[in-house]
Amino acid sequence: MNQITAAIAILALSIGDSRADDAEPVVLETISVSADLRDITEFEIPASISLLDTQALQDRGATHFEDVLLELPNVNFAGQSSRPRHIQIRGIGERDEYTGRPNASVGFAIDDIDFSGIGMTGNLFDVKQLEVLRGPQGTRYGANALAGLINIVTSEPTPFRESLLELTAGDYGLTELGLMTSGAFKEGEDDSPLYRFSLFKHDSDGYYKNAYLNKDNTNSRDELNLRGKLRFTPNGDTRIDLTILHANLDNGYDAWSLNNSFTTLADEPGKDTQESTAAAVKVHWEGNPNFAIISTTTLADSNMEYAYDGDWVYPGFHASGDNTYAYQNDKNRDTISQELRLVSTLSSRIFNASTDWVLGLYGLQLNEDNHTTDNYGTDLKSDFRNTRLAVFGQLDYHLSHTQTLSGGLRIENHDLSYSDSYAEQFDPDETLWGGHLTFIQSLSSRHSAYAGISKGYKGGGFNTGLSAGADAELLSFNKETALNYEVGLKSQLWANTLATTVSLFYMQRDNPQFDGYTYVGNNYVYFTENFDKATNYGLEADFDWQLNTQWNLLASLGLLNTDVTGTPNSATFQVNNREQAHAPNYQYMLGLQYRRANGLFARLSMNGSDAFYYSNSHSEKSEAYTLVNARIGYEASRWDIYLWMRNLLDEEYATRGFFFANEPTYSIEEEYIRLGAPRHFGLTARLHF
């Protein structure tokens, strides 16, 4: 933490006289939150939230959620895929998914389309805003958001014509091409349909070199994202938004080595692909003075391949014999959802016109087929179905013009069906409920405080494809619930040039679900299990100070304490009051940004994390780290150019770790880690036309 203190002191000295040069303040923009049930600003929402708009994302040079993930308080991920897919918020979230039903702890949505658990499609080019809501979202989102929700809202069509061309080139074979165009089909007509189309192509050789194959692209990224949006206004009361997106990620997966370096020796490099085609239709109707109707229909089809060389080496590497384990999973997931939401107006408030209300129905059908093979005899085909039906509502009772009591409830039924080629069959049916009760106090025009209790839930399930000899207790696991107690203060100070938020939370988890693994016979066994109890508590804070027209100081801090008690089925030791896996005690970001009217731009930021356990099945931990990022450029009226560098000091850090034996005798257990991105740099140019 001495590094943090020193950095703050240096930054403070560097801006010490800046207000004397230009004392005119710049007012920070207030942004509406799309993920809430009704229109609300980030200052008003009674929740811990990180919100990055278009400008904030561009200032960071972010083109994928991965680029900003580790800068957010109490947000982490497990690097077991080519892009972050297994995400933790406040220490809660999966670290892998091999068997069992899809059962995410962190919700992930793009324009209302559910990609929970498969969020590799989190492209941020031409995005309006990124919202990360921390804590259970039982009322807003339901079962997939026990830990929180990541919501990406893409940019909307405009009534005026605008276009953007973005080009990037960098080391490790990095090239990016972004193209956007927006406007009205008939310019000058108020009721003309609007359009917006964007394309983004990302290519990179990756950071690893395969010395055995003499290739530097076995962990490459080849990603294409296409998006089209149309907006129709058939009359003054109705707005129809149509979104169509297609993502094709054809990535390699060769990221593990016996010596924990960027040099691999695999003879069969893996793949990590995702091809998703999805659409959403959102109808907003305000033809009745007593309520508005919001109907959202989504469709999504995703095909994925996940394969890796399990021994990480080539035949003949081990003198004691060959280990040639290879794994492959082919997955297809289809979803269709419908939400119907009724939102009150001022004229339809109830209880003597004191209470706003929202009432909604939600249904989702998820179908997922898997085919898993390896060269030890596994050949498992499975068929999974999940029908979710939910009813939800929220009341916002205005005790006075400064006090609001908000209560929400969601009741959700899961009807599951599973069968596979191993003659396993499960048909559970489960009803779950969650909600919140929150008190919001407007202390003044500059301060808003809240205190609340929320309940989140996550369905139980079953573990499939277990090897002979696996513990019978692993066949199923129970539902998990979490009670979250939270207080927060949000402030806008000094003529709205300084925005601060602070949240304190305490989460009590009942039947907490954790993923684990062990080794039985010639196969690894992956499963989900319940521990006895767990608690997660801490603090989240954000600081955004527009010092003047040129200087902007930003900071965030996440403090997290966790403990878990139970006996892992895969371990010989009992976990008593130990920290949970992938739950660092602190995470921080500190940034200083300079933007001058003559076009000069510069940004220097650092973010860091405390050490964390890799798993609940062993005691290996990562090391604490600090990453420094820099960006400098020039911004003209129609073009911008930036030179950037990430991980400036070339810090070595881990995003995933294991402790097991990976040699033919299976007798020598060692720590193996997946390294995060090393120092890399590039040049980005944008042309507005």
Q: Is residue 278 included in any domain, yes or no? A: no
Amino acid at 227: R
- DSSP β-ladder status, 127-134 and 48-53: antiparallel
- In angstroms, the CA 8 to CA 589 distance is 11
User: Radius of gyration over alpha carbons of the chain, in Å?
Assistant: 25
Amino acid at 660: F
H/E element holding 439? strand 429-442
Q: Is residue 334 included in any domain, yes or no? A: no
H/E element holding 68? helix 66-69
Amino acid at 533: K
Identify the pLDDT of residue 640. Answer: 97
Residues paired with residue 215 on neighbouring β-strands, in sequence order: 210
Closest C-alpha to 106, from 408, 513, 463: 513
Q: Is residue 675 included in any domain, yes or no? A: yes
CA dihedral 608, 614, 615, 618 (to 10 degrees): -130
* Phi, psi (rounded to 5 degrees) for 212: -70, -45
- CA 486 to chain CA centroid, Å, is 21
- CA 681 to chain CA centroid, Å, is 24
pLDDT tens-digit readout, 93-102: 998 887 667 8
Q: What is the pTM of this model?
A: 0.93
- In angstroms, the CA 203 to CA 80 distance is 20
H/E element holding 7? helix 2-14
The pLDDT-based confidence of 17 (bands split at 50, 70, 90) is very low
* Phi, psi (rounded to 5 degrees) for 250: -110, 75
Identify the pLDDT of residue 571. Answer: 55
pLDDT of 154 higher than 80: yes
3-state helix, strand, coil in the chain (%, to 5): 5, 60, 35
Q: 107, 119 in Cβ contact below 8 A? A: no
Residues paired with residue 174 on neighbouring β-strands, in sequence order: 170
Identify the domain containing residue 385 by its residue range.
Answer: 2-190+348-688
Q: Is residue 332 included in any domain, yes or no? A: no
Q: How many residues does the chain have?
A: 689
Identify the pLDDT of residue 483. Answer: 97
- DSSP β-ladder status, 575-578 and 523-530: unpaired
**Mean pLDDT across the chain:** 91
- In angstroms, the CA 543 to CA 592 distance is 12
Tokens of 289: 């003075």
Judged by phi (left if over 0) then psi (alpha if -120 to 50, else beta), residue 172 lies in left
Q: Is residue 578 included in any domain, yes or no? A: yes
pLDDT of 6 higher than 50: no
pLDDT of 639 higher than 90: yes
The pLDDT-based confidence of 662 (bands split at 50, 70, 90) is confident
pLDDT tens-digit readout, 164-173: 999 999 999 9
The average pLDDT across 223-239 equals 97
How are strands ordered across the β-sheet holding 48-53? 48-53, 127-134, 148-154, 106-110, 113-114
Q: Is residue 198 included in any domain, yes or no? A: no
Q: Cα separations (Å) of 613 from 262, 482, 573?
A: 22, 22, 15
Domain count across the chain = 1
pLDDT tens-digit readout, 256-287: 999 999 999 999 999 999 999 999 999 999 99
Q: Is residue 152 included in any domain, yes or no? A: yes
Tokens of 240: 């129809």
pLDDT of 88 higher than 90: yes
Residues paired with residue 388 on neighbouring β-strands, in sequence order: 364, 414
pLDDT of 625 higher than 70: yes
pLDDT tens-digit readout, 473-508: 778 899 999 999 999 999 999 988 999 999 999 999
Query: Greater confidence, 615 or 68?
Result: 68
Closest C-alpha to 480, from 527, 401, 534, 410: 534
Identify the pLDDT of residue 534. Answer: 95
Q: Is residue 182 included in any domain, yes or no? A: yes
pLDDT of 27 higher than 70: no
- In angstroms, the CA 362 to CA 654 distance is 39
pLDDT of 68 higher than 80: yes
- In angstroms, the CA 247 to CA 302 distance is 9
Q: 475, 517 in Cβ contact below 8 A? A: no
Q: Report percent pLDDT > 90 for the chain.
A: 77
pLDDT tens-digit readout, 366-387: 999 999 998 888 899 999 999 9
Burial category of 146 from C-beta neighbours within 10 Å (exposed 0-12, middle 13-18, buried 19 and up): buried
The pLDDT-based confidence of 1 (bands split at 50, 70, 90) is very low
- In angstroms, the CA 475 to CA 426 distance is 10
pLDDT of 5 higher than 90: no
CATH for 169 = 2.40.170.20
Count of CB atoms situated within 10 Å of the CB of 649:
12
Identify the pLDDT of residue 118. Answer: 93
- Comparing 14-28, 123-137, 354-368, which segment has the lowest mean pLDDT? 14-28
pLDDT tens-digit readout, 543-555: 999 999 999 999 9
3-class secondary-structure state, position 525? strand
Query: Greater confidence, 198 or 468?
Result: 198
